[in-house]
Amino acid sequence: MKKSPLESFSYRMISRCPMCSASAHNAHIELLDESADGNMLMYARCGSCKIGLLATLSTSQHGMQGAAIMTDLHKNEIEQFADTDPISADEVMNHVRWLRT
Ligand SMILES: [Zn+2]
Q: How far is CA 38 from CA 6, 7, 34, 59, 67, in A?
A: 12, 15, 6, 6, 15
Strand order of the β-sheet with 28-34 is 28-34, 40-45, 52-60, 63-71
CA of 52 to the centre of ligand 1 (A): 8
**Ligand 1 center from residue 17 Cα (angstroms):** 5
Write the Ramachandran bin of 33: left for phi over 0, alpha for psi from -120 to 50, otherwise beta. beta
Quote the pLDDT of residue 58. Answer: 87
45 C-alpha vs ligand 1 centroid, how far in Å?
Answer: 8
Distance from the alpha carbon of residue 23 to the mean position of ligand 1, in angstroms: 8
Name the phi and psi angles at 81, rounded to 5. -70, -30
**Consecutive 10-residue averages of pLDDT for the chain (101 residues):** 53 72 84 87 91 87 84 90 90 96 87
Output the pTM of the full model: 0.68
Cα 42 to averaged position of ligand 1 atoms, centre (Å): 16
